[in-house]
Structures are given as C-alpha cells and as structure tokens.
Amino acid sequence: MDKALICGSFAFDNIMVFNDQFKNHILPDKVHILNVSFLVPELRREFGGCAGNIAYNLKLLGGNPLPMGAVGTDFEHYAKWMDEKGINREHVNVVDDTFTAQAFITTDMDDNQITAFHPGAMNYSHNYSVLDVSDPAVGIVAPDGREGMIQHAREFVSAGIPFIFDPGQGLPMFDGDELMKFIEQATWLTVNDYEWQLIQERTGKSQEEISAKLKALIVTKGPEGSLIYKDGEVIQIPAAKPSVLQDPTGCGDAYRAGLLYGLTNDLDWETTGRIASLMGAIKIEHQGTQNHHFKLADFKRRFKEAFGTVF
C-alpha cells in the first residue's frame, strides 16, 4: 500500500475548564500587576499535533501513514497509543532533555480561552530528513517547527515526491515571499478560508495566480463545504452533516487525512473531497482529536448516505 509521509508536529493538549468567568477575577485597572489563579477541577490530556492527528485519521481509513516528527522524553504514553493503533513510529524521533510540544488551554464559562504553548521538541524537527524515508508516494508539510517545514518542503522537491503544503497555524511564521516559495515547491495547497485570505493578503497574489502554480488548491469553508480549484475549474464539495457538534478541534487534520487517502488511492477529486469532508464531520462529533473510531465498511455506508454515491 502506498505510503504517505506526514511531516508535522506531535503534541499533548492539556485542556482545563474553569467553572466561572475570567472577567470576575481579572481587574482591568490591575492588569499591570496581574497575579491570578484559577481552580480547574476538570482536566483532559489529549494526544494531538498535526502529524499525529493526520496519521491517526489516515490509519482509520486503511491508509499507510508514516509520520515524521520530533518528540520529547515524555512521549512514552503517546508512543504506546500509536503502537496500539498500528501507526508506524520509525520516523518519530525522541530528542533528549526536552518535552514533547504541548498546549495548556484553560476555558471559562463564556468560552474564553487562555492558552500557553510550549514548542519543546518541535523546534528540532529540522534534524530529521525526508531523504531518510524510502519510497513514500506522497507527502505533506503540516505545521511544525519553522526550520523543519522549510527543510522538509525542499527535501520533498529534491526527492521528486509530490506533497501537500498545509501551513495551518504555522502560517504567521512566514512572510509573503516565503509562502510563495512553499507554493512553488508544493504540488497541492490546502487551507481554510481564513488562512486563504491571509495568504492572498501576504503574497499579494490572486486565486488564479496561486492556482496556476499548483495541481490543486483546496479551501475548506466549514459548514459550507470546500472548494477545489483545479485546471481552471472549481469543484464544489458539500459538507457532510455531523450527527452532533461536539468539538471542532482537529477537524482540519481529519480532512487532510481524507485528501491523502484519495491521493494514495488515485481517486478523483470529487470523491477525495467528499471523503475528506466526511472525515471532518465524524471528528467534530467527538471530544479531542483522536477519540473517534470506525470500521471502513461503516465509513463507506455513511458516505453513501451523505452523498448518494460509493467509492
């Protein structure tokens, strides 16, 4: 089965709920001497990171994910989870004397959030090379350490491996010229509609100018579905309807796994986009980024129910 090399981050997401409102404890006229403490009786620690999430979702579909990333010495529990799910860890590299990247997210009753992010081992992703991987069919450069993203894109080109550029939350790290370099190197670009607007503003390029440099540009629009720009045409992908709206975190990674599945199985873009759309819908029905499960036969049944076709 064709391998998909997934370059990106691994992280722990520590999610805490404060059963009150931040505004009741942060005095505007005292922010210059801010010293607050929040009691958070609810705490979840989730496996996350773009490479981890994409690999998990692609494995659910029966794909062959090969994630590459840098992790810390605290990764053992996550590693055990990956082994249980049959996800290859050959290129998941432990960096001595570091922690795995992690986010600490506190949410209040108004859905306001205070987040601290520690990149940890992610900053060492450039120490590991795409060229050390044998024969991946396709790749993806997902959010990761800045130097790692630059290097891995360059190495995909050097190795002649087609790849998706997925800037995601890493987009603010790059200026317009750097983003254009990624786009010129990439085979496909995938972004949400907000990221797409930022890219156009930062590069000064239009949709037509950017699409001309790619085999396909994929723009997701949440409940409005997604658009795939290819060869001068626009393919409209409808959104699959989730049974319940639980947690949108990680939906983009699930969608990208669907894209990789379609690319590694030589599916047309209409089918690939719909698989990606359904992956996002299934993810949003569950808390966390790697807590959903399904059998491929059930996925195909739900695909037919959602779109009236089969794959």
Instruction: Give the residue among 16, 40, 104, 53 at the shortest CA–CA distance from 290.
Output: 53
**Any residues with CB less than 8 A from the CB of 101 and at least 6 apart, and which?**
9, 10, 11, 12, 49, 72, 117, 118, 119, 120, 121, 122
Instruction: Give the residue among 168, 132, 174 at the shortest CA–CA distance from 150.
Output: 174
Name the helix (H) or strand (E) containing 307.
helix 296-307
Q: How far apart are CA 238 and CA 274, in angstroms?
A: 7
Among 144, 253, 266, 268, which one carries the catalytic annotation? 253
266 labelled catalytic:
no
Biggest alpha carbon–alpha carbon distance for the chain: 61
* Rounded alpha-carbon distances, angstroms, from residue 115 to 17, 31, 68, 102: 12, 17, 26, 10
Q: Give the phi and the psi of residue 241 in degrees, each rounded to 5.
A: -90, 120
Q: How far apart are CA 11 and CA 104, in angstroms?
A: 11
- Sequence letter at residue 56: Y
User: In the chain, count of helices (H) and strands (E)?
Assistant: 9, 13
DSSP structural state of residue 143: S
- Active-site positions? 253
